[in-house]
Amino acid sequence: MSTGYDGGVNNIGMPKKTWVRKEKIVVVGKCKYCQQEMTSEDSFVPIGKILYGKYQYQNAHYDCVKKNDLKPKSNFDW
């Protein structure tokens, strides 16, 4: 027995997509910790802060951030 609700998957009246998504690989910058160049295919984390009223960020590999978090910290590491 059908309830008539399809979970929004097959919306009647909505046109089907006619475009094809092309895979783009983009260089996103250097890793904050290992200084290797990263692409959009890598698993990375944006690390941001506000300087002089503007939001600035650096990217880092996810694994590099995990390794840095496991290191023991001193009172001077902020």
- Say what the pLDDT of residue 21 is: 63
The length of the chain is: 78
Is the pTM of the predicted complex or chain greater than 0.85?
Answer: no
Range 46-66 average pLDDT: 88
Q: Look at residue 77 in the predicted model and tell me its pLDDT.
A: 60
**What is the reported pLDDT for 70?**
86
pLDDT tier at 34 (50, 70, 90 boundaries)? very high
What confidence score (pLDDT) does residue 18 get? 76
- Report, as an integer, the average pLDDT of 42-50: 87
Q: Where are the domains of the chain?
A: 44-71
Q: Please give the angle made by the CA atoms of 49, 55 and 58, to the nearest 5 degrees.
A: 60
